Structure formats: C-alpha cells, structure tokens
Structure 1
Amino acid sequence: MTRNVKLGLKQNWKQFSLLVLINAFVGGMVGMERTIFPQFAQAQFGIDSKTAVLLFITAFGLSKAVANYYTGRLANTLGRRNLLLLGWLIAIPIPFMLIYAPSWNWVIWANVLLGFSQGLTWSSTVVMKIDLVGEQDRGFAMGLNEFAGYLAVGVVAFLTGLVADRYGVTPYPFYIGIFIATTGFLLTLLWVNDTRAFVQQESKTVTSTQVDNVFWETTVKNKTLSSVTQAGLVNNLNDGMIWGLFPIVLLSLHYTNETIGVLTAIYPSVWGIGQLVTGKMSDHYSKKRMLFWGMLLQGLAISIIPFMDAVYGFALISGLLGLGTALVYPTFLNTIAQATNPQQRAESIGTFRLWRDLGYAFGAILSGITADLFGIDYAIFLIGALTLLSALIIKVRMPASARPPVNTNTLSRVHP
C-alpha cells in the first residue's frame, strides 16, 4: 500500500499546493466575520452588551475546539479527505443563515456551524500537510499552511469592511462567504487525495514510543506538549479578545468601516505573511525561544492598546501582534509533530487544537464580562497580563528539546 509513497515537499508539491490554496479558503470564512460583526450585531439586532456580542466568538470557539479534537481522533479511521469534505458541507449554509437571520440566536447557531467547519477543515489540512512532507520541512510546511489561512483572514476582513462601508453590513459582505464555501468544497471533492498511506510510510522509520493516553500527555503530563498547549490556549484567548473588542475600540473612536477593515486586517496579514519566515525558522532554531519571544511580544502589544488613539499607533500594535503570533503559530504545530509518534500525531494535534480554540471561548467570555463590569481597558489589561504569564510558563517549564521518548527495542535504528 505504501510502496510508491515518498515523503517530502518536493515529491508532493502538487497536492501540497492544492491544500495550501484550500486552507486559504478556510481562513477566508473566518475573515468574513472579522471586521463587521460588532456593527452587524448593533445595527441588525440592537445588541450593545460586550458579553452578548462576544457570545458569537464563544459559540465559535467551543464548537471548533470539539471539532478539532474529533478530527484528530477520527483522522486515521474515517480519513482526512472525508473530514475535509464534511467541513466544507457544513460551511455552505452559514452565509445564508447570516443573511436571513431573524434573530441573534440564528447568528449564534451560524457560528456554531462555523466552528465545526473550521475545526474539520483546518485540522484536516494541517494533518495532511504534515503527513506529506515528513520531518525535514515540517516547520516550513506549517508556515505555508498558516500563511495561506491567516493572510486570507486579513484579505477577506479588509474586503468585507470595504463592502460594508459602501453597501452596508448585510447582505453583500456575506456573498463572499458563499463563494468561498462553494469553491472550497469543489476543490476538495475533485482533486484532494487522502494521506493516510504517508503516515504508514513514515512509521516504518521512526523509533519513538507510543503513549497510553494522548489527551493526558498533551494536556498535562508531557512538559513539552503541555507547555505548547497552554500557550496555544492563551494565544487564542487574546485573539478572541482582539476579534471581539478591537473593532469596538475603533468604533468608539469614530473610525470608518474601511479604516477599521484596514487596521483589523494588518494583524492577521502580518501573522500570515510572517509565517513564511518563522515556519522555516522553527526547523532550525530553538522552538522554546521562538515561543517565549512570540508570547512576550503579543502580551506587550496588547497591553499598550488602551494608550493609543491614533491610526498609526493602532497599525503598529496590529503589526506587532501579527509578528508575535507568527513566531508561535507554526512553531506550535512543528513542536507537537516532533514530540509525538506519527501514529498518534493527529490525535495529539487534535488535543492541542481543542485547548487552543477553547481559548476563543475563554477569551470572549472573560474579556466580555470584564469589559461590561469594569470597562474595555481593564479587559485588555487582563488579557495582556495572562499572555505575559504564558510566556513565563514557556520559559520555566518547557524543555529545550522536543524529542519524544525512544523505543529501546529499536534503538539501533535511531538516526544521529
């Protein structure tokens, strides 16, 4: 079954490039909501409460987290391609639900579906790319994957802001989502192949042991995996705050939708483009240092938001946030992949992505309640402090090496 399978980026560039393109469409589905949702909630449904507005991010984060976990658990049995197709099928009705939503509850349910769709599609493309390239170019592969996804988030965030500024917050911005979901499904259906055979091929040459409980190791026990997991959770905790509150801060300063679209697009765009460099860096430089400095830079950038009111200051903050996130995002996945056995890699990545995307829910709830009780500035300071604490945990707890334990029965096969 695996006789003609060859690992490597060059050997599998056609499938790899197709998956990069598909992940750009995956990211675009999130970008559709990134700029306009606070105004959409206020204009269409009269919702001003920060907690209520951020409920859509909570719904998204919870459902995406669950989908991430089960994508990892089911990847080896149901197949990566089948899960990717299912994710796109779930995405197709979402823009229509937003266009015709009679109440805010419909919007919440649309974001539940968006979370399930994102978990299935993004997790599948991540695992499939890791399967294809093998160990040598894994960080670079993750950089390309996340570059495509988050650059698309930024581009579509800008486009929806531009469209909303000229034609209103609904329905025209959501037409972009109809095109994205339909195209992503067709690309997957017609041209994507499953990659389980690549895992079997790689497993023939590895000597690392399998663990008894992947969830427990990834969440708590293994110092490398658990350090990465907590940082992933905090990263998306602060991203959830930025997603929900940053446009509200800009609206309070009377910026136009077009300007807000530009400022909110800088962060994911720098995040996406930066991963072309940082992904490759994670193949050669200390993963621990990259994670520490990335989380530290995020925390510092978030903490100065309340002191800004000029457009160039917000642009700088968005750029620094994007740079900090670019340092950690491909490094998260590269570290998880390096620290686990290939047969358990998908489940470990799924567990990591479960906790990471629960950060959206925790961040939205925590920042929303804090903003309603004490004001937006206090919510921002709190999230900034938690991000700085996460950097400290990386510094203190995470080992310098991410290698998994070696199976002593096959020690003679270990490569130097």
Structure 2
Amino acid sequence: MSRPASDRTVDPAPVGDRPVRLGLRQNIAQFTLLVAVNALVGGMLGQERTVLPLLGEQEFGLRAYTAGLSFILVFGLAKAATNYLAGTWADRYGRKPVLVAGWLVAVPVPLLLIWAPSWTWVLVANLLLGVSQGLTWSVTVVMKIDLVGPARRGFAMGLNEAAGYGAVAVTALVTGYLAQSFGLRPAPFLLGLAFAALGLGLSVLAVRETREHARLEASGHVARADGRHDHLHDELTDREVFVQTSFREPALSSASQAGLVNNLNDGLAWGLFPVLFAGAGVSVGRIGVLAAVYPAVWGVGQLVTGALSDRWGRKWLIAAGMWLQALALAGIALADAFAWWVVAAALLGAGTAMVYPTLLASIGDVAHPAWRARSVGIYRLWRDGGFAVGALLAGVVADALGVRAAVWVVAALTAASGVVVAARMYETHHYRHAPLAGDGATGG
C-alpha cells in the first residue's frame, strides 16, 4: 500500500542530531507523551465540574443563576483570549515555551480554590485557569498536528481530545465522591495540585519542540486539486488570518461558529446541570456520576470519531453531531429521573464526540502550515468564547424563566448551528479517498 507523501520519512531539517519526520509512527514517543500531558490539562478542568457550582451555592450563598455562573464567564473570556495569543506566540517563540508558561500559571489555581474566603478568589482562580487552559490545551493540539502530518489528523485530534475530556470525566467523578466523603474543600482540589506539578515537570523535562515539523510540512505543502485554497497562501498577516478563520473562508468560519455553540452548551452543562440535579434531590455522589457521564462518552467516543473523520470526511459528522447534541439537551429538559438523565448525558457526550475533534481537524485541513497555529488559536478563541456566551445566556434565561427553559434555548441554538454547517461548510478532508498509511492506532 502506498503512503501519502506527507507521511513519508523526510529529514531535510534535523533538530540537533535528530532528523525531522512527519507521521504518527515516526513520532509515537513524543505524541504519546503529549497525549498524557493533555490528560493532565483536562484533569485541571475536571476538578471543578462537580464541586464548584455546589460550592458557590452552599458555601458562598449564591442564589442567582447569573452570579453562580460568573466563574464560567471569567474562565471562558480568559481562555478565549489566551487561545488567540497562544497560536501567535507558538508561531513566534515556539511551542514548548508556551506549554511551560501555561503550566506555571496553573500551579496557583487549586491553592486559591482551597483557601478562597470569598467568591472573588474563585473568580481569580478561574481567570488563571482560563489562561492556563488556553496556553496548554491550544499548544498540545498544535504540537500533535505538527507531528502527524495531514493524513492522520482526525485520528490525532481524537486521541488528543479523548485524553483531555476522559480526564475531565474521571476527575469529575472522583471529586464528586471526595466531596461527598470529605466535604467540598480541600480534598477535591488536591488532585488538581498533583496534576499541575506533574504536568509542569513533564513539559519542562520531556516534551520537545515541534515547530520544525510544521516548517517541514510547509516546505512540501501541496495545494488542493479542486483549487479551493489557492487564495490562502503562506504569507497572511495576523489580521488576514483572523478574517479568514472567523468570517470569510466558508469551512473555517463554519467551524468557528459551530465550536462557539458547542462550548455554549458545554458551559450550560458545567454551570447549571449540577444545580438542576441537586434541585431534584439527587445526591452529590450521583451528581458526580452525571457530571462524569457526559465528558466520559465524549472522551472515549473521540477515539472512534476522530479516525472516522479521516475516512468519511468532516462536514456531515459535524452537522449530525450538533443535531444529536440538540436532541440530548431536549431530553435533559424533559427528564425528571436519574436514569433518563444518564441516557441524555450519554447522548450529549456522543454528539460532542462527533463534533469536537472533527472541527479541529477541519481547521488543520484548510489552514496553511505557515499560519496554522494562529488559525487554531483563532478558532479556539471563538470556540471557548462559547463558555462566556453560554454562562451569560443560560444565567439570564434561568433567572427569568427557570433552568429548564435555559436548556431549551440552548438546544434550539445548537440545532440551528448544525443547519449552518450543512448549508455553508464544504468537505475539507481531501485525503479521504486516498489510502491511509497504517490503519492501526500506531500507523504512520
């Protein structure tokens, strides 16, 4: 079986005494390390999923939904802005320095949550968490795209996001049981402290720079046969990359709006679902189960959906995933029992798994390697801006009409986003008809 040119061993630009090579098999050690690092990044987020909404209500007396969701608003704004900067800095200074900086910012977060005497401290912790997540998660995405080359991009993003959100799920589950056994503080956040220390150590001592891999791919970049990207050359300014990714280029801009809406409904799930379940009399331990089911299915599902997008293409997997999320949100709004909420949360996770790695892969398909990190950063700015939009929208609607009404509004927006993808986005994966090198998990 022939291998795509992008997956063959090429070494015109050695780093030290190591030749630069593209492909999953050729870079499996560093790729696996980056998967582990991203799991730790996800764990930092997971420490809050079950506990923080309950902490705001029970320890700080926040009764208004908008006030309770303020931590997600701060997190989303900080992460969105930092995503944009992370892409620019990764192109300018290299990937590894940005990764290390992100972990340094993460270290104080669990300590602030443990010692917080007021909700303001929690907001400061989430500002730092947003900055940290924007730096660390963005750059691990870019580094994996650098390493694997075009043919296995969807599979690589599936592994990346599976590791991150699998860790979110496991940590949400464990912290729920820790909170039920030992209280809301400090036990659940001690996990986050361990994650930050380990992530910083691995990033400093073991992770290698990958910017030369992107330069190698750029040197052999082949234009699409259909001529779609002829106007997207390798010398775009920061402003031009922003305009193309956000508004002008149909696939990039469609992915950006879908990413925003996806994280809008994730912000709703993070901030209001625990309150909805607690109001129905569900125990903290069972709330932890419900908070874990959604990211667990999301995380594991991406192991399948990322690779499927390399075979089937991106567009319809994204559109169908948005519609499945909308259906699941409607199910959560209608349900009133633990078992039904488990089913709806699993469907929400499945829909998100169809969308999340596929959107990232589509950005990698279209963006030129010379400005891909910037485009990924801009896409993630819009996507994670959805946390802020979702927190604000869900809080306002929940205060005015109730939590279930907020869920219905977000379900309608999610369905509409799928329609936009179906109508405007084109298929981005032009390798999908070519044989893939190494169909197994460690293929090149």
Question: Contact 2:362–2:428 at 8 Å: present in 1 too?
Answer: no
Q: State the Cα deviation string for residues 104-160 of structure 1 (Å, max 9, x = none).
A: 011001000000000000001000000001011111111100000000000000010
Which of 254, 257, 260 aligns to 2:284? It is: 257
Q: Secondary structure at the match of 1:309?
A: coil
Question: Contact 2:46–2:172 at 8 Å: present in 1 too?
Answer: yes
Which of 345, 349, 368 aligns to 1:341? It is: 368
Q: What is the rounded CA distance, in whole Å, between the counterparts of 1:385 and 1:352 in structure 2?
A: 22
How well do the aligned residues superpose, as a CA RMSD in angstroms? Answer: 1.2
Q: State the Cα deviation string for residues 212-245 of structure 1 (Å, max 9, x = none).
A: 5010000000011000100000000000001111
Q: Which residue does 2:229 correspond to in 1?
A: none
Report the identity percentage.
49
Q: CA deviation at 1:330?
A: 0.7
Which of 255, 262, 271 aligns to 2:298? It is: 271
Q: Does 1:13 align with 2:4?
A: no
Question: Contact 1:339–1:403 at 8 Å: present in 2 too?
Answer: no
**Amino acid across the alignment from 2:282:** Y
Q: What is the rounded CA distance, in whole Å, between the counterparts of 1:328 and 1:305 in structure 2?
A: 19
Q: Secondary structure at the match of 2:59?
A: helix
Which of 365, 376, 380 aligns to 1:353? It is: 380
Q: CA deviation at 1:402?
A: 5.4
Q: What is the rounded CA distance, in whole Å, between the counterparts of 2:311 and 2:206 in structure 1?
A: 33
Once the two structures are superposed, the pairs formed by residues 82-97 of structure 1 within 5 Å of their partners are 82-97=97-112
Q: CA deviation at 1:36?
A: 1.1
Q: What is the rounded CA distance, in whole Å, between the counterparts of 2:347 and 2:318 in structure 1?
A: 15
Q: TM-score, normalised by structure 2?
A: 0.90
Q: What is the rounded CA distance, in whole Å, between the counterparts of 1:226 and 1:403 in structure 2?
A: 18
**Amino acid across the alignment from 2:410:** I
Q: Secondary structure at the match of 2:370?
A: helix
How many residue pairs are counted as aligned between the two chains?
404
Which of 137, 144, 155 aligns to 2:170? It is: 155
Q: Which residue does 1:411 correspond to in 2?
A: none
Which of 61, 66, 79 aligns to 2:81? It is: 66
The runs of 5 or more residues in structure 1 that have no matched partner are 405-416
Q: What is the rounded CA distance, in whole Å, between the counterparts of 2:183 and 2:427 in structure 1?
A: 51
Q: State the Cα deviation string for residues 64-108 of structure 1 (Å, max 9, x = none).
A: 001100001111211111000000000000111011111101100
Q: TM-score, normalised by structure 1?
A: 0.95
- The structure with the largest helix share of the pair is 1
Q: What is the rounded CA distance, in whole Å, between the counterparts of 1:395 and 1:180 in structure 2?
A: 39
Which of 329, 332, 335 aligns to 1:305? It is: 332
Q: What is the rounded CA distance, in whole Å, between the counterparts of 1:183 and 1:218 in structure 2?
A: 34
Which of 303, 309, 314 aligns to 2:341? It is: 314
**Amino acid across the alignment from 2:146:** D
Once the two structures are superposed, the pairs formed by residues 8-407 of structure 1 within 5 Å of their partners are 8-208=23-223, 209-210=233-234, 211-212=236-237, 213-401=240-428
Q: What is the rounded CA distance, in whole Å, between the counterparts of 1:90 and 1:141 in structure 2?
A: 26
> After alignment, is 393-402 or 345-354 more displaced?
393-402
Q: CA deviation at 1:254?
A: 1.0
Q: CA deviation at 1:306?
A: 2.0
The runs of 5 or more residues in structure 2 that have no matched partner are 1-11, 224-232, 432-444
Q: What is the rounded CA distance, in whole Å, between the counterparts of 2:92 and 2:241 in structure 1?
A: 16
Q: CA deviation at 1:284?
A: 1.2
Question: Contact 1:224–1:402 at 8 Å: present in 2 too?
Answer: no
Q: State the Cα deviation string for residues 368-387 of structure 1 (Å, max 9, x = none).
A: 01100111111111000000
